[in-house]
Amino acid sequence: MKKKLFDFKHIKGDFTGGLVAGVVALPLALAFGVQSGMGATAGLYGAIAVGIFAALFGGTETQASGPTGPMTVVSAALVATAIQSHGSLDNAMSVILLTFLVGGLFQVIFGFLNIASYVKYFPYPVISGFMSGVGLIIVILQLFPFAGLGSSKSTLAVIQNLPTLFTEFNVSALILGAITIAIYYLFPKITKAIPSALVALIGATLIAYFTKMDVPLIGEIPSGLPAFKLGGILNVDSSVYSLVIEYALVLAVLGSIDSLLTSVIADNMTKTKHNSNRELIGQGIGNMLAAAIGGIPGAGATKGTVVNINAGGKTRLSGIIHGLVLLAVLLGLGKLAAHIPLCVLAGLLIPIGFKIVDFKGLKHLTKVPRPDAVVLVLVLLITTFGSLIHAVGIGITLACLLFMKKSGDISEKGLEVGKISDIDNSKPWQDEKEFYEKYKDKVIIKHLYGPLFFGFTSYFKDQIKALPDDIKAVILRMDRVPYVDQSGLYTIEEIIFDLRAQGTEVIIVGLKDQPNDMFKAIDIIPDLVPEEDLFDTVEESFVYLRSKLK
């Protein structure tokens, strides 16, 4: 039976979810627009176009899309580069919008070419380093606006001009920014029914307005429907095509990763399965239409998606309503937004930046394999203080090198999972047969071969998630796993956490020295797997399980 494009039986939940998601997205759209260098209006236009059309054509039913931190950082780098070569934002606008348009087109092509299936091969250290770098960029670039000063165009410029921050700061802006951050963090302790970002935006703006604080403001936002802005792209000089292609590819790759990660979160919350290729097509269409009206590109927004689902959103209607809410704000309240202080937006973006930083990966730097730690730090530093283009290129290159170095002749055949009574293309091992006959419907034995690394972690995770919920225990035979990298380590951690959450006991057999050290370093042992669930031989695990399964 063909699935309907729209299912109105959940309209009440979709309306509530979309409304809340739109309210959450409003302050962030304005803030990301300002940070991009194109102005708050561009952020709002992007949130409307991507929000509506990514939901309409995308492959994740409950996805709320719009400008995100990572996408905005890349957009800001493009805007700064284009302005430098063209003299002003107006002169550079055609190049900027052409890049956004081509980036969206690349995403559509990615969807048709099934590129989504290759995203899983990005190793954890590369993604972690890049995302942490993006988070730090957001924080660093907001230091001057937070203090009521003009924004620097790069992180290096901020570091170089740091002394002026302590001599020329605006006291009123600092107070207002601090109030914004305080409300952002403290208001959820009072209630989570109203988004703290919106309360912080409105509350701090009202304080500035009624006390007549002398702080820089957003300025007037045009009301009414946006106009078509792509008329000038046909006149773009061919000498900038390489710039356009470079940044468009980065936007497309990053937007795809950002969106698909959010789709996975939505799947976990709703117990559904998104269509990765359709999601990329939808995101690409949304970003192309955002470019057409002068908006910045976006991706699946984790925060908006989570609040949409928690507020009752069930279908793509919720994402469309989220975009329509922002359109209503543009049409009705655009002039009021002119009074929002830039330091308030900085106060909203700084916490967002810190949320993007992967503190988990940074905390484990001294505990994970050294090559993974080096890759993470290298990508982080290049992202934060160098070129985003180079960071992405080096990250992809390192991913390929790591894959070639560690893959060897490991095949996915060694990572197949099935009930012990039906292990794909594999019979129970000789020392498992007796136990197999009696407990084949209650216990699954998973044989792992070779190093567990990023190349197969996604496949392994999908196979484990496909296991029946009524299984009492899973035995992981790891006596043939000599090495676990950071991606494999966090995959095992996530799998064990999910299995234990559904009441399934996880038994580990034959853990080698390096994996054992890694598991203990990040507290998988004993926090997730107590010592009594570790066994040197499979027979010892059988004795233990027989006593528990009687």
285 touches 325 (CB < 8 A): no
Structure confidence at residue 38 as a pLDDT band (50, 70, 90): very high
Percent of the chain at pLDDT exceeding 70 = 91
pLDDT, average across residues 448-460: 70
What are 104-147's pLDDT values in tens digits?
A: 999 999 999 988 777 766 778 888 898 899 889 999 999 999 99
Give the pLDDT of residue 420. Answer: 39
Q: Cβ contacts of residue 435 below 8 Å, gap of 6+?
A: 443, 542, 545, 546
Q: Cβ contacts of residue 430 below 8 Å, gap of 6+?
A: none
Give the pLDDT of residue 121. Answer: 66
Q: Phi/psi of residue 475, each to 5°?
A: -100, 120
Give the pLDDT of residue 330. Answer: 86
Retrieve residue 58's tokens. 């995308």
Q: Which of 28-42, 106-120, 215-229, 493-507 shows the highest mean pLDDT?
A: 28-42
What are 493-509's pLDDT values in tens digits?
A: 988 888 888 888 899 99
Give the pLDDT of residue 415. Answer: 44
Q: Cβ contacts of residue 46 below 8 Å, gap of 6+?
A: 29, 32, 33, 66, 67, 290, 295, 296, 297, 298
Return the bridge partners of 484, or none: 452
Structure confidence at residue 281 as a pLDDT band (50, 70, 90): very high
Percent of the chain at pLDDT exceeding 90 = 41
268 touches 123 (CB < 8 A): no
* Model pTM score: 0.76
Does residue 520 have a pLDDT over 70? yes
Give the pLDDT of residue 46. Answer: 96
Share the mean pLDDT of the chain: 85
Give the pLDDT of residue 417. Answer: 41
Structure confidence at residue 416 as a pLDDT band (50, 70, 90): very low
Structure confidence at residue 456 as a pLDDT band (50, 70, 90): low
What are 331-362's pLDDT values in tens digits?
A: 877 677 788 899 999 999 899 889 889 998 89
What are 421-430's pLDDT values in tens digits?
A: 333 334 666 6
* Cα separation, 268 vs 314, whole angstroms: 13
Q: Return the minimum-mean-pLDDT range out of 130-144, 264-278, 445-459.
A: 445-459
DSSP-based helix, strand, coil % in the chain, nearest 5: 70, 5, 25
Q: Cβ contacts of residue 503 below 8 Å, gap of 6+?
A: none
pLDDT, average across residues 504-515: 89
Strand, helix or coil at 479?
strand
Structure confidence at residue 464 as a pLDDT band (50, 70, 90): confident
